[in-house]
Amino acid sequence: MLPVATADGTAAAPLTALFTATSAVCVTGLVVVDTAGYWSTFGEVVIVTLIQIGGLGIMALASLLGLLVARRIGLRMRLAAQTETKATWLGDSRRVVLGVIRLSITVEVVVAALLTLRFALHYDEPIGRAAYLGVFHAVSAYNNAGFALWSDSLTRFAADPWIIAPISAAIIVGGLGFPVVIEVIRAARRRLRREPHRPHWSLHTKITLITYGLIALIGIIAITGIEWSNPRTLGPLDSPGSLLAGAFSAISPRTAGFNAVDVGAMHPATLLITDVMMFIGGGSAGTAGGIKVTTFALLAFVIITEARGEPTVHVMGRRLAGSVQRQAVSVALLGVGAVFASAVALMLITPYNLNEVLFEATSAFATVGLTTGITADLPDGAQLILIGLMFVGRLGPITFASALALRERGRRYELPEERPIVG
């Protein structure tokens, strides 16, 4: 809200500042004002700083600061870091936190360098401005935030692979989740060293990589096919440009929020497909939002097992615990409830149709940042709803519900069993 944060030197309205700050720290990307035109350089630096903090995770950052100050991580901070980064065991927390920081900085530096060279050499930007644009969009892409310093996001670069490809790579690496990326890197190192034992991937990594890849492939085929002849999206581009922009339009909802074509001009079927992709999101313990691909895959495994009539869920040589299945169902249903209730509320207080408000609610909950163009025109009440959705979506539905419950309750007895009719 400081006057120095805006381009014209006028203090931003409290709701505008709150919405922007929430969207940045929740790595969403929805905006009610034009980021490039409304905020000053100082304001943009505040935004990108919030993006970095939100993407790394508050407790992961706090753990790093504690490590730097005290040269060690205490038990309480290690427990918090374990929760934030999904470390597999307590002794691993310190190493995982440092690994997360190193991974983040490495990816952001590489992507920023590639973007800087492209902006400077091809678009004739001064080297200082090119570096600023490169760093801002590298941080925004890796943290799946979707903030851009152009009013049309990345539509002007829709057919430029030297801009789209590095940003897409950063989105994927950040969206897969820290545990998966770190495990893949460690396995690759063991292969390069030609160690005698074959690298072993955990069940979580296998499920994440397979499900993420399948959903991305289906999304690319569906969105590119539907929009191929749309004169307001992919139609004006040549074939390579259409394929590039179509692929990016399927990668971005996982949950980056950049757009290479006009989302508001997409076919209703494309918007519905994008809704589903946004709701599923990316990998756990990363910068992506949504219910996560592992949750979606676990629900699919439960359905397949039930259809086969088998008593327990087996996946890739492992049996899934009942608690994991209950968590998956809880996350999915709480997510559906949050999006449904918010969409109904938005329809009651805004003049927009179901396609538009459902897209907006899903984008906010899944911390995506894509919009059909209605965000800035929403009334104050609708903006407050989106702020709440972004906050809940970033925390995670099950985390939010557990926080409200305050404590885990044990049960010392079981009631007599009865089986109601299902279906």
Beta strands in 116-275 (DSSP E): none
DSSP assignment of 70-94: HSS--HHHHHHHHHHHT-SSGGGHH
Render pLDDT for 329-360 as a digit per residue (tens, 0 to 9). 888 999 999 999 999 999 999 999 999 999 99
Calpha distance 120→250 (Å, rounded): 28
Question: Which has the higher per-residue pLDDT, 113 or 325?
Answer: 113
pLDDT digits (tens, 9 = 90+) for 261-287: 999 999 999 999 999 999 999 988 778
Q: What is the rounded CA–CA span in Å between residue 121 and residue 288? A: 31
Residues 6 or more apart whose CB falls under 8 angstroms from that of 10 comprise 3
In terms of residues, how long is the chain?
Answer: 423
Buried b (16+ CB within 10 A) or exposed e, 112-151: bebbbebbbeeeebeeeebbbbbbbbbbbbbbbbbbbbee
Q: What is the pLDDT of residue 285?
A: 75
User: Could you give phi then psi for residue 278, rounded to 5 degrees?
Assistant: -65, -40
Share of the chain above pLDDT 70, in %: 87
pLDDT higher than threshold 90 for residue 397? no
Mean local confidence (pLDDT), 372-388: 96
Q: Which residue has the higher pLDDT, 225 or 409?
A: 225
Reported as a single tens digit per residue, the pLDDT across 115-158 is 999 999 999 999 999 999 999 999 999 999 999 999 999 999 99
Between 79-93, 221-235, 375-389, the lowest mean confidence (pLDDT) is in: 79-93
Task: Give the single-character DSSP code of 315.
Answer: E
Q: Model confidence over 81-122: pLDDT tens digits?
A: 555 545 544 445 566 677 778 888 999 999 999 999 999 999
pLDDT confidence bin for 65, thresholds 50/70/90: low
Mapped onto helix, strand or coil, the DSSP state of residue 314 is: strand
Q: Is-contact 382 409, C-beta < 8 A? A: no
What is the pLDDT of the chain when averaged over all its residues?
Answer: 87
pLDDT of residue 15: 97
The neighbour count for residue 38, using CB atoms within 10 Å, is 18
Instruction: Retrieve residue 318's tokens.
Output: 């492992």
Residue 52: its pLDDT value, please? 92
Structural tokens at position 343: 């969409």
* 250 closest CA partner among 235, 239, 261, 240: 261
What values do phi and psi take at 283, rounded to 5? -85, 160
Residue matched to tokens 């495994």: 301
* 408 pLDDT more than 60: no
Q: What is the widest separation between alpha-carbon atoms in the chain?
A: 75
Identity of the residue numbered 99: G
User: Beta-strand (E) ranges in 81-191?
Assistant: none
